[in-house]
Structure formats: C-alpha cells, structure tokens
Amino acid sequence: MQGEKAIGKIAKFDIIFAMKIHVLVLDGVFDTGLATVLDAFKVANELAEMSGLASPRFDVAIVGVRKAVKTSQGLSVPVAAAPMRIVPDWVVVPAIGYMMPGPLQKALARTDVSDAGKALRSWAERGAGTAAACIGTFLVAESGLLDNQDSTTTWWLAPLFRQRYPKVRLDESRMIVKSGKFVTAGAALSHMDLALWLIRQKSPRLAALTANYLVVDSRPSQSAYILADHLAHSDPLVERFERWARGRLTQGFSLDDAAVASGSSKRTLARRMQAVMGKSPLSYFQELRVERAVHLLKTTDESVEEIAARVGYADGVTLRTLLRRHLGHGIREIRRTAA
C-alpha cells in the first residue's frame, strides 16, 4: 500500500512525452553497466505505468555499429543497426570491459570504436544529447565531442584520460558532470547514477521513486572511493613525490623539499602532478592527509584532536572542516561506515 501511495504522488503532467534513448553498445561491453542502464529505465517505465499512465516514459533501443555484439562475459547482445536517420533525445554509451590502460588503449584502436565515434558525432550535430559512464567516457572522448567540455571518468584511469585527451577538462572526483549536451559519469556502478540523472530530466519524482525501489543512495562524489596511491604509481616522478609526502604528513608541506626528494625542479613536479593527478603537489598532499585521517577514524578509537595532530593539523576543527569539504561526510558518518 505504501508503494502504491508513493507512486500515486507522481503528477500526471510529469509523464507525458517519452524520452527516446539509444544505448550504443560495442563489442566487449561491460555486462553490469549495460544491464544497470537497461534495468533502471525498465523499472522507471513500470513505476510510471503503475501510476495509471499507460504511455511509456522511456523509449529505449539497443543499437550498435556491428551486426553481432558480445559482452565482456561472452553473452550475445541483441543489437539493431544504429538508425542514423532517427535522432534520439539521448545516446547512452556504457563502458567496455577493459579496466587497465594497456588493453583499453588497444581496444580504442578498433574500427568499431571509430565507427561509433562517427555515429555519435552525427547524432550530436543534429541535436542529440550524449551520455557516458565509466570507460564509456573514453569512447565519447575518442570522437572529439568532449574537447573543451567538462567531464568525469572512472577514477583509476584519470591519468590515461588526461594524457590521451588533453583538451577535455577532467574532474574525476565528481560522480556526474553535465557540460552542454554532454553528461559523463564516474566508475562502474555510476551507470546507475547516469540513468537516474536522465530519468530526473523528465521527472525528479519518478527518479527518486526509482532510486527508492532499487535501493540506491545519492553519491555526488567519487572522492571517497579513490585510492590515491593507485594513481600515483602510474608515473615514477609522482610515485617518488607520493613516498616523500606520506612520510611528511605530520611535518607539513614544502615544495622545495618535495622537488629535491622527487629528483626534479619545482616546475617539473608541478607540471607532472597536474598531468597525472589533475592537481597541485599541495592539493595532493592535503588529500593524503585526508586519506590517513579517514583510515585512523575507521580503525582506531583515538579522538578527533589526536588524529588531527597525527596528520599535521593544529586542532580537530580544521580536520572536521577538511573532511566535510573533501568527502561531504562528517566524523560520525565516517566512523559509522566502519561499524
């Protein structure tokens, strides 16, 4: 009964025009990403219909640039040829299942990727929006559509993304980034965040209801999930700086000392940090402090004041403010997740 009452609260004027969506699927598509997107729209349609409105809310078609497509797990995907004469409201690009830089770069050199890029550009030129999640953002960036746009991507491939697409303004800390007619989402399960964002464009209440039925929490940031040392180890100079920084958290930051320890000039260190990590040496140093503080909060019973001192801050108030700014969570929330 409660579910029916909640559904009944969706106003009829919210569900009038169907949103036409093409889900562009390439060989090796990430199974979870594809299924998540399709299931989110299916559930939204069912919830809309349960409210007494028979008209489908989202008209979803699975399209491809090849006749036969298999997922990364080897399952066949029933794709239709990309209908170029039909311009959808949105083209959604799920990830392909290549998690590491080497295999991914080989996959991006495939002819179906370049053909997909041509299709994406054609749709975009005629007014379609483009949405991509996780490694799907690489597929869109390959087409050149994200040049001079803001974007996010899967956090552990951010260094490769910056190297490969220097014209794209990347912020891998964010879960969803809207820039013009383009929407990008972060890693793996951000496919759900992306689908809910699209549903929200037609009906915020339907999106909220869909999230409730699927038991999905709001995740505006990827910051809480990023493993900083994983990113740092993608570059020898950055790795040397990271080792130095971890041993200096209680002592404070000095760019002069950091450059000497890293075996580089201050300018070279700053330039390499920006290229690999997308931030300055000082900003990264602060993130390491946050990472250490979160670890101590979850694994010890030390007070906030004690932990603040161990990561180089004068008092607990400063640490609380920093954690809230970086993670969007307070001390109690962080410690509760460790319970």
Question: Within this chain, do residues 270 and 212 fall inside the same structural domain, yes or no?
Answer: no
Q: Summarize the confidence of residues 250-255 as an average pLDDT.
A: 91
Cα separation, 244 vs 139, whole angstroms:
36
Exposed, middle or buried by CB within 10 Å (0-12, 13-18, 19+), for 151?
A: buried
Q: Strands 76-77 and 69-70, how do they pair?
A: antiparallel
Question: Within this chain, do residues 51 and 71 fall inside the same structural domain, yes or no?
Answer: yes
| Residue numbers of the domain that contains 39 | 2-224
Last residue of a domain, one of 206, 224, 242: 224
Cα separation, 163 vs 168, whole angstroms:
10
Count of C-beta atoms within a 10 Å radius of residue 69? 21
Strand order in the sheet with 182-185: 80-81, 58-64, 19-24, 90-93, 129-133, 182-185, 176-179
Question: Within this chain, do residues 167 and 252 fall inside the same structural domain, yes or no?
Answer: no
Last residue of a domain, one of 168, 189, 224: 224
User: What confidence tens digit (pLDDT) does each residue in 68-97 have?
Assistant: 999 999 999 999 998 888 899 999 999 999
Confidence of residue 10 (pLDDT cuts 50, 70, 90): very low
Q: How many domains does the chain contain in total?
A: 2
CATH of the domain at 110: 3.40.50.880
User: What confidence tens digit (pLDDT) does each residue in 95-131 have?
Assistant: 999 989 999 999 999 999 999 999 999 999 999 999 9
Percent of the chain with pLDDT over 90: 54
Q: Summarize the confidence of residues 277-292 as an average pLDDT.
A: 87
Cα separation, 306 vs 318, whole angstroms:
12
Question: Within this chain, do residues 98 and 197 fall inside the same structural domain, yes or no?
Answer: yes
Question: Within this chain, do residues 216 and 239 fall inside the same structural domain, yes or no?
Answer: no
Question: Within this chain, do residues 119 and 6 fall inside the same structural domain, yes or no?
Answer: yes
Nearest to 130, CA basis, from 83, 87, 183, 178: 183
Say if residue 191's pLDDT is above 50: yes
User: What confidence tens digit (pLDDT) does each residue in 315-339 have?
Assistant: 889 899 888 887 777 888 888 766 5
